[in-house]
Amino acid sequence: MAKMAKMLLPIGLTIATAGATALPPVRPVEGEGSKKFRDPMGRHQIFHGVNAISKGVPFVPDTETFSADISMTREDFEIMQSLGLNVVRLGVMWPGVEPTTMGVYNETYLDEIDKIVTMASDHGIYTLLDMHQDDLSEQFCGEGIPSWAVRHTGDHQFLPGFPSPVGKTFTDSYSEPKMNNAAFPTRQDCATHDWPGYYQAKDEANAWEALYKNVDGMAEQWGKMWAHVAARFKGRTVCVHCVSG
Ligand SMILES: *[C@@H]1O[C@H](CO)[C@@H](O)[C@H](O)[C@H]1NC(C)=O
């Protein structure tokens, strides 16, 4: 089942759109580390908005049927507009963009993201494209990178099983057909500890290290995927700064 988070963000973030839409482009203020934005007239733009991240297959909110927690439909944007909100932080997830096979991007997924970006802009709302993660992968009771991109460094063979030392090794797992039947710990096992605690699990830490060390070029694959997303939105709706976490 797709986990979904929609909540108010304390303050505005990044963003910008341009091109075919009525929204004026906003640009980060030089030297402010992308914390402040100006519109074309030089005025600071203040953002108020919501978070919309689908944290499981299909990794994109439902664009057709309104529901209180898993959709981003016209109705969602009408509500946002009526509340005076002007930004959505939208999850663009690596396992959504490149689900099963390295180098094979799912353009249908990006079409769905595109639909949301367009609906937002039609309602005067900017979009921040957010490559989100929590606990790196479903293998570690979170999400973030596709299962095919999870790697370990050489000393992994000496580590006790996940989630040591947070708790006893999990033995209950399920396979996800849409991810080449990768095996992940079940929600029941995952629910036995708080999710931020899993960052302390040696197995997860080792997988992070492998990503940072670019084992098998996986950090580069991440970069290529994000470049593909950027190219796709270039010239019409542009995320000028993207955050994760
Ligand atoms: C590609 O994205 C579409 C739309 O989200 C989804 O229905 C489809 O299952 C995805 N394909 C794969 C291989 O994940």
Indicate if the pLDDT at residue 14 is higher than 50: no
Distant-in-sequence, close-in-space partners of 161: CB < 8 Å, separation ≥ 6: 169, 170, 203
Tokens 């930004």: give the residue. Answer: 87
Task: Report which protein residue has its CA nearest ligand 1's atom 2.
Answer: 109
The β-bridge partners of 37 are 28
CA dist 240 and 225 (Å) reads 16
Query: Which CA distances in Å does 123 have to 77, 82, 84, 238?
Result: 6, 10, 10, 16
**pLDDT one-digit tens code per residue, 90-145:** 999 999 999 999 999 999 999 999 999 999 999 999 998 999 999 999 999 999 99
Ligand 1: residue whose CA is nearest its atom 12: 99
Task: Report pTM.
Answer: 0.86
Confidence at 23, pLDDT banded by 50, 70, 90: confident
43-102: pLDDT as tens digits: 988 899 999 999 999 999 999 999 998 999 999 999 999 999 999 999 999 999 999 999
With DSSP H G I counted as helix, E B as strand and the rest as coil, what are the percentages for the chain, rounded to 5? 35, 15, 50
Ligand 1 pocket member 60 (CB < 6 A): yes
What was the pLDDT predicted at 243?
39
**Where does the pLDDT of residue 15 fall: very low under 50, low under 70, confident under 90, or very high at 90 and above?**
very low
For residue 236, what pLDDT is reported?
59
Per-residue pLDDT band for 18 (boundaries 50, 70, 90) equals very low
| Contact in structure between 137 and 147 (CB atoms under 8 Å) | yes
Q: One-letter amino acid identity for 36? A: K
Q: What is the pLDDT of residues 199-210, one digit of tens each?
A: 999 999 999 999
Q: How far is the CA of 119 from the centre of ligand 1 (A)?
A: 20
